[in-house]
A and B are shown apart, each in its own frame.
Chain A
């Protein structure tokens, strides 16, 4: 199957006076057309850096590409000119952020912003496009919403407007970084249903970033688990959740409270993730790992297992 997005050995650092933060460390990952790839991991592990590095939305400085490539539909995004990139953003890759406010211009109506997206790409915006887009993101009363300013919309409506903007130019890849984290729990399902629907209708590849494994369990076709800037495990979501290979994934899943388990202590992961200014030699999980062996002093690479799964571990 041909990959829409292929990331190989990508490293991204933040330059800081007290030492560079190695936020993404030699990551390889693919997103295919028509699938949702869930990216899971705890805060600070590098999920947003990886997600925003793809469309090159990270501020440089402090961010810096320290190696690897990001191939989208056959072109390496790292080597593109800023004009070429601008064309790919929006028209090829749509982005949805956690905070819908930051993605919208407060002084333009929703309708004006959608039209502006077309003119920025020197494309005509045929009559009816705005209303059509707003109804595709299941915003009824499209005429009223199109005339509204961002602050006049509810949180859920605002995020739908952001999604309308992200899909306006017909991208093939949608990157959604914690798209529902800032929303009321009762609204989250609707937004995720919408992303699912658009994926099917438009054949989109979706990179869905979330710290919430429960959410990813229901929305991701495949799941990638990130720890300390590295991908430690990838595979079909159901299989990873039912029988994770990596000791970190296993520890994390075991610590989740479950309904049927009743009372009593939860198993926990001892210790804390390493400081990304100074990541340890060898496996980054070693200091916390119950299965560590001497070989773990050498960094394990992400190796293929059966069933489209892979894991970076010497002793899974």
Chain B
């Protein structure tokens, strides 16, 4: 049993869980010297179990290096776990092809500039994702006029109505680039969106806009979220449940309001104390 877990409020039973993580382990090698020989290991995840019901929203908080991004990448299959199981509606992820998984789970990263290929115009950047989704659905990629119409609709969704499709990412502000990154993820029509620090690189007034966008999209698209953040206030806005990570383990998990009101693990209290008084 994970310490600090509130057993009275199980996060949806196995049947209803859309995504389940069972005992996920991830170990990174530490390389050293010019020959980059393996000189040690970092146990980044030491047996993490979590469940996310369809339509739910799970926040993951914890200090730097606690394993949040690693866990998010494993969920999105950008990384393979070294142990444990990732299940989609009870089926192990190995039963899904890469593309099938991509049409279920998409990830948005902290730094929108780094996650968008600067050499690709919006038409190519978003068009690729739309074409992949069409293939998954067994359709031919839409023709140019139809595709452009769909891309414009996608830009409408993220508040970038009328952005020229032949523009490049660097022509946008960082907040707009984060909207683009979200649009590209949505182009695959995923059901689960993993957002890793989606606002921490953005200006304060832009953070609120992106958080609002994420809230809107959740309702409009019926999305399920995993929101990773070191900022408890951000998580309290977006997540109905929260998992607190420390050193590769979940030390506490529960309903967000309950965890914030009465943390059970001292480490959760430390995180709460780190929130400036006027933002409590």
Contacts and interface: CB of A to CB of B under 8 A. Distances in A.
A266 B271 CA distance: 22
Contact of B203 (A42, A186, A258, A265): A42
Contacts of A265: 212, 215
B211 A260 contact: no
A242 B279 CA distance: 11
A289 to B, nearest CB: 13
B204 A213 contact: yes
B111 to A, nearest CB: 14
Interface string B117-134: 000000000000000000
Contacts of B212: 265-266, 268
B257 interface: yes
A264 B240 CA distance: 12
Interface size class of A (residues with CB under 8 A): 20 to 34
Given A257-B234, A263-B237, A266-B208, A43 B203 contact: yes
B233 interface: yes
B279 A259 contact: yes
A266 B278 contact: no
Interface stretch (A53-61, A137-145, A214-222): A214-222
Interface in B244-280: 257, 260, 272, 274-280
A185 interface: yes
Given A211-B204, A251-B205, A256-B208, A185 B63 contact: yes
A255 B208 contact: yes
A106 interface: no
Interface string B160-201: 000000000000010000000000000000000000000000
A18 to B, nearest CB: 15
Nearest to A269: B205
A261 B257 CA distance: 10
B275 to A, nearest CB: 6
Nearest to A271: B205
B279 A185 contact: no
Interface in A226-285: 241-242, 251-252, 255-269, 272
B160 to A, nearest CB: 13
B236 interface: yes
B2 interface: no
B205 A268 contact: yes
Nearest to B280: A259
Nearest to B235: A257
Interface string A275-315: 00000000000000000000000000000000000000000
Given A43-B203, A255-B204, A217 B64 contact: no
Contacts of B16: none
A226 to B, nearest CB: 13
Contacts of B277: 217-218
A305 B236 CA distance: 36
Contacts of A214: 275-276, 278-279
A268 B275 CA distance: 21
A268 B65 CA distance: 32
A258 B205 contact: no
27 contacts: A42-B203, A42-B204, A42-B205, A184-B64, A185-B63, A185-B64, A185-B230, A186-B64, A214-B279, A217-B276, A217-B277, A218-B276, A218-B277, A241-B278, A255-B204, A255-B205, A257-B237, A259-B232, A259-B233, A259-B260, A261-B236, A262-B237, A263-B238, A265-B212, A266-B211, A266-B212, A266-B237
Interface of A: 42-43, 184-186, 189, 211, 213-215, 217-218, 241-242, 251-252, 255-269, 272
